[in-house]
């Protein structure tokens, strides 16, 4: 019995010891919890969490549906890491063109190029090389200004373009940013807007889904975020002879009511396209050469005032299917050059919507129509007096080396 009492006494002490140990551990745990929840560390922990959530929310709100751009972007290597991070959400920032903004925002100059199926064409790759190297050679921007290069591209062409741009932008003396836009996503957004006009201005018969991208400039004001108010759209087959920054200054010369800056067509394309209307209206200026005639437009270089396009009741009314059909019927018009045809047709009726760039900003070199029935009048369209700022090697025309 004495042994049993001794064992019981020992077991009781062990149990007491374990309870005491448990109490000590529990007290320590409570102390840690109290330290984080009631001490100074609570503010630091909560503030960090709040900042992370705010950053994520800000990032998401600036994405503009996220499908417009692929998350692969190139920026000028001389920019700081902090600046590169700030530049990620360009869609949500000021585009640098709004006046009277008291905030210190880097002025941005936006230029867009179609960049599809480039991976399958050595010719397009060569043209892109000429365009980018000549642009970089002549471009000069003021301190703090940024040239934002937009490319509408498929995945394979984007991968190639990123590699090519690493070389082409190597000697850039200005700050830049490169954004690739997914052609499929843009086409999906464009198709409902431009479907009705495609049958009038597309190469094939009927409205093809894939053709919608050739009308991007027509409805870009509906596609790009409202913070983007001005953009220049450029063909790939260009060679720059002057500072591209000077082209953006032409926006400030727009006449009242103008929404697009564009050069005239320098071949008798629309003399031919409007042949039936001209036959029925022998006194018309439609399709006649400059300076008194209306030769139509060429879309190789375009200044799109997206802000003005959004607020122009006239322009947006002309985008409606019934108005497109009415004008196409009135002018007996059926084209195949996409946005260029649409702008030409509405320009016959409403020239006030367009600011005429001098021919030197888009010196077209194609002479196809000279050898196809219009040799007698060709030079009246082709002539371009004054300095050349940008050569356009349309229809695969060679561009001067000088």
Nearest to 273 by CA among 321, 208, 325, 328: 328
306 with 169, same domain: the answer is yes
Whether residue 57 is found in the same domain as residue 104 = no
Establish if 155 belongs to a structural domain.
Answer: yes
> 230 and 165, same structural domain?
yes
Paired with 356 in beta bridges are 262
Does 249 reside within a domain?
yes
Instruction: Decide if pLDDT at 88 tops 70.
Output: no
Specify the CATH number for the domain of residue 339: 3.90.550.10
* Residue 10 covered by a domain: yes
Q: pLDDT at position 202, please?
A: 80
Residue 402 lies in a domain: no
Residue 93 pLDDT: 37
pLDDT of res. 247: 98
Note whether 382 and 334 are same-domain residues: yes
SS3 138: helix
- The H or E element that residue 175 is part of is strand 175-182
Q: What's the token pair of residue 56?
A: 């994520």
- Compute the distance between CA of residue 133 and CA of residue 120 in angstroms, rounded to an integer: 21
Q: What is the pLDDT of residue 336?
A: 86
Which of 26, 42, 61 is the endpoint of a domain? Answer: 61
- Consecutive H or E run containing 383: none
pLDDT tens-place string over residues 153-191: 999 999 999 999 999 999 999 999 999 999 999 999 999
- Indicate whether 39 and 112 sit together in one domain: no
Does residue 16 have a pLDDT over 70?
no
Q: Check: pTM over 0.85? Answer yes or no.
A: no
Average pLDDT, the chain: 81
pLDDT of residue 56: 35
3-state DSSP of 84-110: HHHHHHHHHCCCCCCCCCCCCCCCEEE
The widest CA-to-CA distance across the chain, in whole angstroms, is 134
For residues 175 and 233, state if they share a domain.
yes
Of 40, 61, 82, which residue is a domain's last?
61
Q: Is 275 found in the same domain as 145? A: yes
Between 202 and 305, where is the model more confident? 305
Residue ending a domain, among 31, 61, 91, is: 61
Residue 389, domain member (yes or no) = yes
**pLDDT band per the 50, 70, 90 thresholds, residue 27:** low
Residue with the larger pLDDT of the pair 70 and 130: 130
**By percentage, how much of the chain surpasses pLDDT 90?**
67
- Average pLDDT for residues 364-380, to the nearest whole number? 97
18 part of a folded domain: yes
pLDDT in tens, 191-219: 999 988 888 888 665 556 668 999 999 99
Note whether 25 and 149 are same-domain residues: no
Q: Are residues 30 and 140 in the same domain?
A: no
Tell me the pLDDT tens digit for each residue of 241-275: 999 999 999 999 999 999 999 999 999 999 999 99
Residue 145 domain boundaries: 69-396
Q: What mean pLDDT do residues 303-312 have?
A: 98
Q: Is the pLDDT of residue 358 over 70?
A: yes
Tell me the pairing of strands 354-356 and 390-392: unpaired
Q: Are residues 177 and 306 in the same domain?
A: yes
Q: 388 phi and psi, to 5 degrees?
A: -100, 125
- Assign 356 to helix, strand or coil: strand
Confirm whether 236 is domain-assigned: yes
Pair 25, 120 in one domain: no
Residue 202 CA to residue 206 CA, distance in Å, equals 8
Q: How far is CA 353 from CA 318, 332, 369, 379, in A?
A: 11, 21, 28, 27
Do 54 and 96 fall within a single domain? no
Total domains in the chain come to: 2
- Is residue 282 in a domain? yes
Which range of 2-11, 18-27, 159-168 scores highest in mean pLDDT? It is: 159-168
């Amino acid at each position: 019995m004495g042994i049993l009492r001794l064992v019981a006494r020992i077991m009781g002490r062990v149990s007491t010891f374990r309870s005491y140990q448990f109490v000590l551990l529990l007290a320590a745990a409570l102390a840690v919890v109290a330290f984080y929840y009631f001490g100074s560390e609570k503010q630091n922990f909560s503030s960090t969490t709040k900042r992370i959530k705010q950053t994520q929310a800000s990032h998401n709100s600036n994405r503009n549906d996220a499908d417009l751009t692929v998350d692969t972007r190139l920026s000028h290597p001389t920019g700081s890491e902090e600046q590169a991070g700030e530049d990620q959400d360009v869609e949500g920032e000021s585009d640098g063109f709004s006046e009277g903004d008291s905030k210190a925002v880097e002025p941005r100059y936006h230029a867009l190029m179609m960049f599809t199926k480039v991976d399958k064409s050595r010719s397009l790759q060569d043209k892109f090389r000429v365009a980018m190297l000549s642009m970089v050679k002549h471009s000069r921007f003021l301190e703090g200004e940024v040239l934002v290069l937009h490319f509408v591209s498929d995945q394979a062409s984007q991968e190639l373009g990123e590699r090519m741009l690493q070389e082409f932008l190597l000697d850039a003396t200005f700050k830049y940013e490169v954004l690739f836009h997914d052609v499929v996503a843009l086409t999906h957004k464009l198709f409902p807007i431009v479907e009705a006009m495609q049958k009038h201005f597309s190469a094939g018969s009927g409205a093809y889904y894939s053709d919608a991208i050739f009308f991007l400039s027509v409805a870009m004001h509906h596609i790009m975020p409202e913070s983007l108010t001005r953009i220049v759209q450029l063909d790939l087959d260009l060679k720059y002879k002057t500072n591209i920054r000077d082209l953006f200054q032409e926006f400030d010369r727009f006449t009242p009511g103008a929404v697009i800056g564009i050069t005239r067509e320098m071949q008798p394309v629309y003399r031919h396209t409007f042949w039936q209307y001209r036959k029925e209206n022998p006194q018309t200026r439609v399709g006649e050469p400059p300076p008194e005639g209306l030769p139509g437009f060429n879309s190789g270089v375009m200044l799109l005032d997206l802000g003005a396009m959004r607020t122009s009741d006239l322009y947006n009314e002309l985008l409606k299917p019934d108005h497109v059909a009415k004008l196409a019927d009135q002018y007996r018009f059926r084209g195949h050059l996409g946005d260029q045809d649409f702008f030409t047709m509405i320009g016959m009726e409403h020239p006030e919507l367009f600011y005429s760039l001098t021919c030197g900003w888009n010196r077209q070199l194609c002479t196809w129509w000279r050898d196809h029935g219009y040799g007698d009048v060709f030079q009246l369209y082709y002539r371009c007096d004054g300095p050349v700022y940008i050569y356009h090697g349309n229809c695969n025309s060679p561009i001067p080396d000088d």
